Structure 1
Amino acid sequence: MFLRDLSTTILAFTALPALALQSQVTPATAPFTVAYKSQSLSIPEYNTKVPVACWFPLSDTKEDFTPTKPTYEHRISVRKIGQMLAQWNIPRFFASDYMLQPTGNYVVDGSALSYPCQKMPIILLAHGYLGSRFDLSHLAEVLASRGFVCVAAEYPESLASSYDPVPGLDRKVITDALLEALQKDWNIRASAYGIIGHSLGCGTAIQTGDDSWARVFISGFTRQRDGSPLKGNYLLVTSMGDGLANRFLSSPNAIPSDVIRLPEGTIMNQPIPKRAAIVYDRPDAPNHISFLTESTNDVMIEYLSPLLPVARLFNIPVLDFDRYQVSRDSKVTADVYHPLIVKYMEQEMLGRRA
């Protein structure tokens, strides 16, 4: 969610009596009920367990269960924020836990349920600097309702600070371990792979998988570490109202000439090009955290607003947090970009074309 520097940086309808199956984000597009499960990814060589959030479609489950609403166990660690942004050694107890509700009312607690036994398209979600595995939970819910399995690991830069930093334990190690666990431990077999990154998570998306993977970059960049343009297919979703992304967009040839620029609001009537970008450029264009789930943004505002004067005093970057206090546009932003990403992933991973 925060970032120091850019350069370093759902077919069949399954009804459940207790829940109305309609999305609050993309109305009338939820053929599948979505199950949510929290997993723990064990990485023995680093003596670490990494929290992973999983969303998957209940398309043909025969398991007997009573549907209940899940909660997302979200944490904000001021200690972690202080360490990462200002190298402050704040006591560990300066943290707050939140039980967040799903955005869609078609999401059920899948803790006791098995993952789909058939091969499924799998999408990894990579959060940004000082972000969380729930930053894109609203998008994960919608994608899972369209038939995708979505998994989001907590990376070392997460504000939740659920595990201590260990030298060598980086995003690649965690992602590699997650991909292995999906098949070996959790018995989730992939028919196709995709990855969606936000902010620093775009770097994770660039470095993960091969050319067969579908990639989406949100509020980030599309270049390798050496500055060279990224090869392969991808969709870039970004905004001139983003205090970070506009630095990248202002660079010469930021978006390669073979990447098709899509005008906002006219793209859903035809297939999306395999290499495409949409850049929101209007007075009310989304800021850096407008693309994240409303509930995670709300608790950030609730918990951290009193610290904004301190951040300004010490010139600590807040990366549009102060702007989101005013805009509160997570829902309206999701209404615009969620259908775009869903369509792109269906095209690239399921072969569905308009």
Structure 2
Amino acid sequence: MVRESPLPPRRSALQLALALLAPSASHAASQAAPVGYRSLRLRGAQNAPVSLWYPTRAKGAVEKAPYRHYISVARIVELLQGAQLPNLGWEFRLKADSPIQVDAPFASDAAASELQLARARHGAGPARCAVVFAHGYLGSRFDMLHLCERLAQKGFVVAAPDFPEGLSGAVPLGRVNRQLILEELISRLRREFGVEHLGIVGHSAGGGTATVSTMPFRCGRVAVAGLAAYAQPDPLLVVASEGDGVVPLGRVLKALPPDALSVEAVGAADVAAHRRLALLLRSGKGRGRAPCHISFLSAESNEAMVTLLSPLLPVARALRVPVLDFDTYLSLRDGPQVAEQVLPLIEDFFFYHAARAV
């Protein structure tokens, strides 16, 4: 069922925090934890690179552009056209949305993080929680770096691996799949960070990864601009748009569980009252155009693609190569506005369920 909320469709993080239930709203008053960042490799999964965000107590230097984002033109051509090219690509330095300390030590005693304070309030006891981000087809582990940073500020360990279908070309095609990468990554999170409870969020094909994985994700699963049939017991949040030219809204609606509440704006009690929730973004008076497929990604990662690929767009059109809404995003450039609307919801969804996970 679809229900319209009386609240406006676009809200700031502060407005959302004020609107949510008191146990969730109270965590906004706490001071966010500093964020550490590092990269690692999964040796058993063809050296797949992983970006890692986590709480830290270090007070070192802050790096404004800590992310080395490599876009492989050779991998793009290989995936879209099946042709083999020499290794050709460019590296971009992406800016952080938050103060980031590279290679800072992990705060193993982060009992004062907002998440652990919330767990204490709800009698859940201390437990480390992690969220995995799964990118989509021709995506990147940096696609939702703005969300990853926000979650780490709340006290989560956040891990984003590159998959074989990624832009970086760092993982060989055909030698390892998403499930194997997830399994090794989660095993490492448990072993090295003592993670007990997990959540997962994915964009596009990563949304399918988030919903079909049979591993338990008690902190919840989030599917953004992509959804597979869902049969797991974990909490579920779906975000979809009628402006998506890659994964049509109708396809998402067909895959929604029958007991999911669909809303066109988030009401005060939706996150707390419904374990399965779908936010459907539509165009309309006072709303502007609905987001396209890649509007949900960070503006930084999108601008890297714009810089590299926009000169090639006429050629792609002439060859009828799928451009995955890239052309639509060039006219919208709505990443910051969509982030303002969507990220607080995802953050509060994970926070609410992680604070109560046992």
What band does the TM-score fall into relative to the shorter chain?
A: 0.7 to 0.9
Unaligned residue ranges in structure 1 (runs of 5+): 1-24
CA–CA separation in structure 2 for the residues paired with 1:75 and 1:166: 20
> Is 2:305 the counterpart of 1:303?
no
Name 2:243's counterpart in structure 1. Answer: 241
The number of equivalent residue pairs is 312
SS at structure 2 position matched to 1:210: coil
Equivalent of 1:88 in 78, 83, 86: 83
Q: Deviations over 1:255-277 (max 9, x none)?
A: 33311012315346873511110
Q: Deviations over 1:139-185 (max 9, x none)?
A: 11111112211110111111011243352x1111111111111232x
Letter in 2 for 1:173: L
Equivalent of 1:219 in 221, 225, 230: 225
TM-score between the two structures when normalised by the length of structure 1: 0.81
Letter in 1 for 2:92: Y
Q: 1:267 to 1:81 in 2, by over 3 A?
A: farther
Name 2:172's counterpart in structure 1. Answer: 164
> Is 2:90 the counterpart of 1:102?
no
TM-score between the two structures when normalised by the length of structure 2: 0.80
Cα deviation, residue 204, structure 1 = 1.6
Equivalent of 2:190 in 164, 177, 183: 183
Cα deviation, residue 121, structure 1 = 1.2
Name 2:205's counterpart in structure 1. Answer: 200
Equivalent of 1:338 in 336, 343, 347: 343
Tell me which protein shows more helix as a share of its residues.
2
Cα deviation, residue 115, structure 1 = 4.7
Letter in 1 for 2:71: I
Confirm or deny: 8 A CA contact 1:196 1:205 kept in the other structure. Answer: yes
Unaligned residue ranges in structure 2 (runs of 5+): 1-11, 18-27, 111-126
Letter in 2 for 1:263: E
Higher relative contact order (CA 8 A, sep 6+): 2
- What's the RMSD between the two structures over aligned residues? 2.5
> Is 2:133 the counterpart of 1:125?
yes
Cα deviation, residue 296, structure 1 = 0.6
Name 2:280's counterpart in structure 1. Answer: 279
Cα deviation, residue 37, structure 1 = 2.2
Name 1:139's counterpart in structure 2. Answer: 147
Confirm or deny: 8 A CA contact 2:199 2:221 kept in the other structure. Answer: yes
Confirm or deny: 8 A CA contact 2:67 2:94 kept in the other structure. Answer: yes
State how 1:49-68 maps to structure 2 within 5 Å.
49-58=47-56, 61=57, 63=58, 65-68=60-63
CA–CA separation in structure 1 for the residues paired with 2:266 and 2:218: 28
Name 1:38's counterpart in structure 2. Answer: 38
Cα deviation, residue 332, structure 1 = 0.4
CA–CA separation in structure 2 for the residues paired with 1:251 and 1:110: 38
CA–CA separation in structure 2 for the residues paired with 1:265 and 1:112: 36
Cα deviation, residue 34, structure 1 = 3.5
SS at structure 2 position matched to 1:178: helix
CA–CA separation in structure 2 for the residues paired with 1:262 and 1:279: 6
CA–CA separation in structure 2 for the residues paired with 1:157 and 1:83: 10
Name 1:71's counterpart in structure 2. Answer: 66
Q: 1:100 to 1:271 in 2, by over 3 A?
A: same
Percent identity over the alignment? 31
CA–CA separation in structure 1 for the residues paired with 2:204 and 2:281: 16
SS at structure 2 position matched to 1:235: strand
CA–CA separation in structure 2 for the residues paired with 1:139 and 1:88: 34
SS at structure 2 position matched to 1:39: strand
Cα deviation, residue 109, structure 1 = 1.7
Name 1:10's counterpart in structure 2. Answer: none
Letter in 2 for 1:257: P
Q: Deviations over 1:262-318 (max 9, x none)?
A: 231534687351111011011511110000000110110111011111111121111
CA–CA separation in structure 1 for the residues paired with 2:159 and 2:132: 5
CA–CA separation in structure 2 for the residues paired with 1:159 and 1:316: 16
Letter in 2 for 1:273: H
CA–CA separation in structure 1 for the residues paired with 2:209 and 2:294: 18
CA–CA separation in structure 1 for the residues paired with 2:297 and 2:182: 21
SS at structure 1 position matched to 2:47: strand
Q: 1:195 to 1:265 in 2, by over 3 A?
A: closer
Cα deviation, residue 86, structure 1 = 0.8
CA–CA separation in structure 1 for the residues paired with 2:271 and 2:229: 27
State how 1:314-329 maps to structure 2 within 5 Å.
314-329=319-334
CA–CA separation in structure 2 for the residues paired with 1:270 and 1:170: 32
Name 2:9's counterpart in structure 1. Answer: none
